[in-house]
Amino acid sequence: MNFALGIDIGGTKISYALIDNNGFIKNDVQKVSTPKTAREIESMLKNIILKYENQIEFIAIATAGTVNNENDKVIGSTANLPIGYKDIDFLSLSEKKVFVENDANCAAWAEYKIGASINCKNSIMLTLGTGVGGGIIINGKLLKGKSGGAGEMHFLMSRNKSRRCTCGAWDCFEAYASGNGLRQTAVEICKDENITTYDIIERANNGDVDCQKSLEVWQNDIALGILGLANLFDPDCFVLSGSMEKFVDVEKIEKFVNSFVLTSPTKVYHAKAGNYSGMIGAVLLGNELI
């Protein structure tokens, strides 16, 4: 059996494991805190790789941020990683081949190969967390666009300039469909500036009508965004992942979308590839592309 070293670089921690070419993790996943400077991240990566280098075929890295079309460099949008991170020369970390891809793209690939969207050549994964990430697969290939950064879920939900988005524009899908979006919706409905997503879920479960309404509006906003994507891409399915997806009724969303879709009916699934879908997807994708 051949192994690759899968590494997932996030804003708070770096996880890694040996992964075989079917996406199975050998032994346990190791975790360390993400260092505060790019130089420290680089030397930590070197040390991790050094430990495994003679057991592996290649290194596959899932990372926050946009990765170029050559899969060797981070080119932007790394708000939660230190300045200088973009300048890391990933290829120089090892004599073995190093493959790099955006973490949401990797997770989408894992779902396509071993998860919820298995065998769906056209699928869209939405990661509903603090923000919203996305990975789009068209005809069995990752949509990267001209520079590598395609799949940003920043399209309009309102012309009212109601919510400034993290991207600088107004009223993007992310500003409504994310955990922060749910919170903002609840602030408006519950008239409580300090409400947290945790409060919303707990109070809704205890029968609070405003919190239930907030979740309903949030879910409807997710459905409206998915409807637009279904009309644009005509995908076999959507996969929802991330910390917030467990609060979503995928059947209800699917029903709403299919009652309006112009292309053809689609499916909406919960993600299945697990917490390590990023590093697993990186290995599975690297397997095909390098």
By CB under 8 A, name the binding residues for a copy of itself.
66, 77, 121-122, 136, 138-139, 141, 143-160, 167-169, 172, 176, 221, 224-225, 227-229, 231-236, 260, 262-264
Phi–psi pair at 51, nearest 5 degrees: -65, -30
Smallest distance from a copy of itself to CB 177, Å: 12
Q: How far is the CB of 56 from a copy of itself (least distance, A)?
A: 30
Q: Smaller CB distance to a copy of itself: residue 23 or 148?
A: 148
Q: Is residue 6 packed enough to be buried (19+ CB in 10 Å), middle (13-18) or exposed (0-12)? A: buried
Least separation in angstroms between CB 105 and a copy of itself: 12
Residue (148 or 281) nearer to a copy of itself, CB: 148
Q: Which is nearer to a copy of itself, 15 or 266 (CB)?
A: 266
CA-to-CA distance for 218 and 234, rounded, in angstroms? 23
Which residue lies nearer to a copy of itself by CB, 21 or 68?
68
136-144, long-range: CB < 8 A, 24+ apart: 136/108, 136/233, 137/108, 137/109, 137/112, 138/233, 140/112, 142/101, 142/105, 142/108, 142/109, 142/285, 144/69, 144/105
Q: Which is nearer to a copy of itself, 6 or 135 (CB)?
A: 135
Q: How far is the CB of 17 from a copy of itself (least distance, A)?
A: 31
CB of 69 to a copy of itself, least distance (A): 10
Rank residues 144 and 203 by Cβ distance to a copy of itself and give the closer one: 144
Residues 6+ apart with CB under 8 A from 132: 126, 153, 173, 174, 177, 178, 181, 242
In DSSP terms, 67 is beta-bridged to 74
Minimum distance, C-beta of residue 273 to a copy of itself, in the bound complex (Å): 21
Distance in Å, CB of 228 to a copy of itself, minimum: 3
| CB nearer a copy of itself, residue 20 or residue 216 | 216
In terms of Cβ atoms closer than 10 Å to its own Cβ (0-12, 13-18, 19+), residue 198 is exposed
Spatial separation of the C-alpha atoms in residues 143 and 108, rounded to whole Å = 11
The span from the CA of 62 to the CA of 101, in Å, is 5
- Smallest separation (angstroms) from a copy of itself to the CB of 155: 3
For a copy of itself, which is the closer residue by CB, 58 or 155? 155
